[in-house]
Structure 1
Amino acid sequence: MTNVIVAFSKAEDAKNIKNILMKNGFTVSAVCTSGAQAVNSADELGSGIVVCGCRFADMVYQEIYECLPKGMLMLLVASPSQWSGRAPDDVVCLGLPLKVQDLLSTLEMMMESLAKRRKKLKSQPKERSGEEQELIKQAKELLMERNHMTEAEAHRYIQKCSMDSGTNMVETAQMIMSLINI
């Protein structure tokens, strides 16, 4: 489920957009009438899509965009004269008058984009701390010394043991260290 924040300066506009989205199966996490409310909601949620208008009493869309966390996308709903040529590249813009089907299909496309981004981030390997890297290095050195392996062979051995046992390389290196140092 993707978080959707609806933010328009007029409460009636925000309520109408929220109702359209809810009727079509989207979950609206927050409805805001100021830029500060939109930014606070985005910070609390961490990721999702902000559907907003161009101007608020306290901010314009560009200021909101600059304050959003990295996991948030923005869908700007405004007349083309208000954003043409000035909107940041990754802000998706829909012109007024708004067609419901355009709003829904654009939001669906943005949700797919967010899902792909999340999947890509999950598939990236987690960075190891210096302590963990040192532990793996020590285990490799121990294997190289005791079993006369090259560094590549010791690394592959730790990897294979890690996969076979279903543990990560750091845990496997710890097991090797404890077994050999007995």
Structure 2
Amino acid sequence: MVGIIVVFPNKDNAANIRNLLARGGMTVTGVCTTGAQAMNYADTVDEGIVVCGYKLKDMLYSELREYLPSNFEMLLIASPDKWSSGLADGVMGLNMPLKVYDLLNTVEMMLESMNRRRRKRKQEPKERNPKQQEVIRRAKELLMDRNNMSEGEAHRYLQKNSMDSGTNMAETAEMVLSIMAK
């Protein structure tokens, strides 16, 4: 789940940013005033965006960025002189005074970028370790010998049963081996 965490030292400013994001159709996971509170909220979601000011009650934005997991991005809202020298990786900046249109478009762009990366990760094939590959190979050989299947048919059989049962292919191969090896 993607979470948006708003962190500003002034609770009213944080609430105002949350309200702007909510009016823009975005769900805010948490509103807080310290980096420690933001870290607690970050632990409750898989990935997300932290919208924050330059200086929090207990740390600077750069320290918070270091403590956040790599699957989090940060949107810094500060005057240009605070971040004009450059931002850390995973940090985007918006100038003060803040324009609602800029805030909503930037957060929407960041969310879309995260969704795109997530879809790309899901499309990458998962690598199997040699032990899993060996179990699958033995299950295919057993299916080919006992059921007169070709290698492709045995592979499709394991694949289909894996999808039907909701287990991965290596687990399905282990089940085939345990059932047919008797």
Q: What TM-score comes out, normalization by structure 2 length?
A: 0.81
CA deviation map 1:74-102 (0-9, x unaligned): 11111121112331132111111111100
- Residue 158 of structure 1: aligned partner: 154
- Residue 150 of structure 1: aligned partner: none
SS of the equivalent of 1:44 reads: coil
SS of the equivalent of 2:6 reads: strand
C-alpha displacement at 1:67, in angstroms?
0.9
CA deviation map 1:42-87 (0-9, x unaligned): 1222311110001112111111111112322111111121112331
* Contact preservation (8 Å) 2:4, 2:28: yes
CA deviation map 1:101-152 (0-9, x unaligned): 00000011111111112222233334445543331132345568x48xxxxx
- Residue 181 of structure 1: aligned partner: 181
Unaligned stretches of 5+ in structure 2? Answer: none
Letter of the 1:60 partner, please give it: L
- Residue 112 of structure 1: aligned partner: 112
Alpha-carbon separation, structure 2, partners of 1:72 and 1:116: 14
* 1:91 and 2:84 matched: no
Instruction: Map 1:8-157 onto structure 2 (within 5 A).
Output: 8-128=8-128, 131-140=131-140, 142=142, 146=145, 154=151, 156-157=152-153
SS of the equivalent of 1:30 reads: strand
Alpha-carbon separation, structure 2, partners of 1:157 and 1:171: 18
SS of the equivalent of 2:73 reads: strand
Unaligned stretches of 5+ in structure 1? Answer: 148-152
Alpha-carbon separation, structure 2, partners of 1:2 and 1:78: 24
**Residues 93, 139 of structure 1: alpha-carbon distance in 2 compared, 3 angstrom cutoff:** same
Alpha-carbon separation, structure 2, partners of 1:73 and 1:30: 15
CA deviation map 1:141-182 (0-9, x unaligned): 5568x48xxxxx73x343222344445432553355356535
Alignment size in residue pairs: 176
**Residues 45, 178 of structure 1: alpha-carbon distance in 2 compared, 3 angstrom cutoff:** closer
Alpha-carbon separation, structure 2, partners of 1:170 and 1:17: 48
Letter of the 2:80 partner, please give it: P
* Contact preservation (8 Å) 2:47, 2:71: yes
* Contact preservation (8 Å) 2:72, 2:90: no
Q: What TM-score comes out, normalization by structure 1 length?
A: 0.81
Letter of the 2:133 partner, please give it: Q
Q: How large is the Cα RMSD of the aligned pairs?
A: 2.7
**Residues 143, 7 of structure 1: alpha-carbon distance in 2 compared, 3 angstrom cutoff:** same
Percent identity, aligned pairs only, is: 47
